Amino acid sequence: MEVRFTYTARDDLRRLPYNVQKRIAKKMRFYAAQKDPLRFAKRLVDSREGEFRFRIGEYRVVFDVARDTIFVLKISKRDRAY
């Protein structure tokens, strides 16, 4: 699978500390390399912001999946994610 970031998600990532940026990027590469990355994801009840989310430490990565691409929509801290 391929991972693509929206402009909003890219800005969210840039605002984070460098070590957190590296951790999220590494984990997203791991998920993309899996045969079924959605087994690590949780489906969101309210899909207005996105269909799924990954938990990476205290951060949440909200995303949608289309064909073989993960579209990252938003990255935020857990207490402000939803």
CB of 10 closer than 8 Å to CB of 21 = no
Q: Which domain holds residue 70?
A: 2-80
Structure tokens given for 35: 């045969």
Predicted pLDDT at 1: 87
Predicted pLDDT at 82: 58
pTM confidence score: 0.89
CATH of residue 53's domain is 3.30.2310.20
The number of distinct structural domains making up the chain is: 1
Predicted pLDDT at 81: 65
Q: Compute the Cα dihedral for 34, 27, 49, 14 and give only its sign.
A: negative
pLDDT digit of tens for each residue in the chain (82 aa)?
899 999 999 999 999 999 999 999 999 999 999 999 999 999 999 878 889 999 999 999 999 999 899 999 999 998 776 5
Please report, as a single letter, which amino acid is at residue 22. K
